């Protein structure tokens, strides 16, 4: 029986894409698996919350700072070699963390090695995003992106659980060793894909400086107002998620749900994300793509605001699943449209700008949440997150000025403005 076009099953008909997806799944699961062990190890050695905070920060900041460079590498060099090199460096970092955990080496090496591992991962996302359109037919691109998104959501949900189990059964070093093995396996899977044009760099012509290449990525987005709006939608959802990581903790405490309740609600966001990826095929085929994206944003906005007046765990779980599904839809629809709308030659560099912007949105949202609660209260902060997302959804309904070259079926250009 033939799998329908545009679905995850349709995308999985491509053997090279299956291998790329498996490598991505193993790599991302390893990232989230060792995070729990890393923070537990640092706290055990230092008994300092400040050390834990610093370690958390250095796990995120390299993505924001070096993301544009990752996009440049993905456009300049053979992407298969870049991904394998990324995995190999992370294997070495995990082996270094193992040595720190098993010896009396200075604990400061733990966040340093974690930062190095995150920095090495910077080109991996742009490489996979830019390679995916070459591995599947255009009709199956939404399904392929949905599969990649589902893998990320599953890694977020399962990785910390596996890491916690490993801590219960043994030392943090066990998680670091397992993570080193996961990156090695990821490299082997990437190498198992036949080399050739699918991994060839997109950039042509005379090589520019790194800063000039980054500027090219920024310019590619600026010359496509539709692309800027799409990136904005994903960033808005990231800001909301960052705020929710703080607000839901405060709400769980105020309702007496405890840390367990907080964990359940966050897991609900991940589960919702997986559910959302199953809806992308139909959403991508919609005859009103602009309205579809707006509805996905409203599916994030409404639950975010309603959490303020929901007094029980069951209700919060429902809203978190709905909101997570909406956010996943926004992410996949935006990425698919960018892949179709931007020139392949500059896509990885543009993606190297868009991805760090989304990560920065999570960080920014988490930083403003507490001051916002102090200013307008917990309920007001929840309502603000919903209002922010709804306002951006309204902005998307405004006519947009087209510029540059557009490939078929960009999400915001293919449909009339909703009344």
pLDDT at 52: 75
Distance, CA of 339 to CA of 133 (rounded, Å): 7
DSSP H helices in 77-209: 79-102, 109-120, 124-135, 141-169, 172-191
Q: Do the domain assignments include residue 233?
A: yes
Residue that terminates a domain, selected from 136, 162, 192: 192
The parent domain of residue 185 ranges over 1-192
Number of domains composing the chain: 2
Higher pLDDT, 298 or 147: 298
What DSSP assignment string belongs to 45-73? HH--HHHHHHHHHHHHHHHHHHHHHHHHH
Q: How confident is the model at residue 108 (pLDDT cuts 50, 70, 90)?
A: very high
On whether both 51 and 149 belong to a single domain, the answer is: yes
On whether both 186 and 140 belong to a single domain, the answer is: yes
On whether both 98 and 42 belong to a single domain, the answer is: yes
On whether both 110 and 145 belong to a single domain, the answer is: yes
On whether both 129 and 244 belong to a single domain, the answer is: no
pLDDT at 66: 79
Q: Do the domain assignments include residue 118?
A: yes
Lowest mean pLDDT among 41-50, 202-211, 321-330: 202-211
pLDDT at 409: 41
On whether both 183 and 310 belong to a single domain, the answer is: no
When mean pLDDT is compared over 2-11, 314-323, 344-353, 406-415, the highest value belongs to 314-323
On whether both 295 and 397 belong to a single domain, the answer is: yes
Distance, CA of 214 to CA of 416 (rounded, Å): 33
Q: How confident is the model at residue 264 (pLDDT cuts 50, 70, 90)?
A: confident
Residue that terminates a domain, selected from 192, 227, 254: 192
On whether both 169 and 261 belong to a single domain, the answer is: no
Q: Is pLDDT above 90 for 7?
A: no
* Rg (the chain; Cα; Å): 21
Distance, CA of 97 to CA of 177 (rounded, Å): 9
Neighbour-count burial of 255, counting CB atoms closer than 10 A to its CB (0-12 exposed, 13-18 middle, 19+ buried): middle
pLDDT digits (tens, 9 = 90+) for 173-217: 888 998 899 899 999 999 998 887 888 876 555 566 667 767 777
On whether both 121 and 261 belong to a single domain, the answer is: no
CATH label of the domain that carries residue 156: 1.20.1250.20
Q: How confident is the model at residue 49 (pLDDT cuts 50, 70, 90)?
A: low
Residue that terminates a domain, selected from 159, 192, 225: 192
Distance, CA of 360 to CA of 352 (rounded, Å): 13
Q: Is pLDDT above 60 for 407?
A: no
Q: Do the domain assignments include residue 201?
A: no
Q: Do the domain assignments include residue 254?
A: yes
Distance, CA of 251 to CA of 262 (rounded, Å): 8
Q: Is pLDDT above 80 for 382?
A: yes
Lowest mean pLDDT among 15-19, 213-217, 284-288, 345-349: 284-288
Between the alpha carbon of residue 412 and those of residues 234, 350, 398, the distances in Å are 14, 18, 10
Q: Do the domain assignments include residue 202?
A: no
Residues 284, 333: contact at Cβ < 8 Å?
yes
């Amino acid at each position: 029986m033939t799998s329908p076009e545009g679905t995850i099953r349709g995308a999985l008909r491509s053997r090279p894409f299956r291998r790329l997806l498996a490598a991505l799944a193993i790599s991302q699961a390893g990232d989230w698996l060792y995070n729990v062990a890393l923070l537990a190890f640092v706290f055990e050695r230092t008994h300092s919350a400040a050390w834990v905070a610093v370690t958390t920060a250095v796990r995120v900041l390299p993505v924001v700072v070096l993301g544009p460079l990752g996009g440049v590498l993905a456009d300049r060099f053979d992407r298969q070699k870049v991904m394998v090199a990324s995995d190999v460096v992370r294997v070495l970092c995990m082996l270094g963390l193992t040595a720190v955990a098993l010896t009396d080496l200075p604990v400061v090496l733990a966040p340093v090695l974690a930062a190095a591992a995150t920095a090495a991962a910077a080109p991996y996302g742009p490489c996979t995003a830019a390679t995916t359109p070459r591995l599947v037919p255009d009709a199956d691109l939404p399904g392929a992106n949905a599969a990649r998104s589902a893998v990320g959501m599953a890694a977020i949900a399962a990785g910390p659980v596996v890491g916690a189990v490993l801590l219960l059964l043994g030392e943090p070093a066990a998680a670091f060793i397992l993570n080193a093995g996961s990156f090695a396996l990821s490299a082997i899977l990437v190498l198992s894909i036949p080399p050739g044009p699918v991994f060839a760099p997109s950039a042509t012509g005379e090589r520019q400086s790194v800063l000039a290449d980054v500027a090219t990525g920024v310019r590619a987005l600026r010359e496509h107002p539709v692309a800027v709006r799409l990136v904005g939608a994903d960033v808005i959802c990231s800001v909301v998620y960052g705020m929710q990581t703080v607000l839901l903790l405060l709400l769980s405490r105020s309702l007496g749900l405890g840390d367990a309740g907080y964990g359940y609600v966050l897991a609900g966001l991940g589960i919702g994300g997986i559910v959302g990826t199953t809806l992308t095929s139909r959403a991508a085929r919609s005859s009103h793509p602009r309205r579809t994206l707006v509805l996905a944003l409203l599916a994030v906005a409404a639950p975010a605001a309603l959490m303020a007046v929901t007094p029980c765990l069951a209700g919060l779980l429902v809203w978190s699943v709905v909101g997570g599904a909406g956010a996943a839809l926004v992410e996949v629809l935006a990425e698919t449209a960018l892949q179709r709308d931007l020139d392949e030659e500059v896509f990885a560099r543009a993606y190297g700008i868009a991805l760090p912007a989304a990560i920065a949105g999570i960080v920014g949202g988490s930083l403003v949440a507490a001051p916002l609660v102090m200013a307008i209260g917990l309920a007001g902060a929840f309502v603000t997150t919903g209002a922010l997302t709804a306002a951006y959804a309204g902005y998307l309904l405004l006519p947009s000025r087209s510029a540059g070259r557009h490939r078929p079926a960009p999400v915001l250009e293919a449909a009339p403005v909703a009344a």
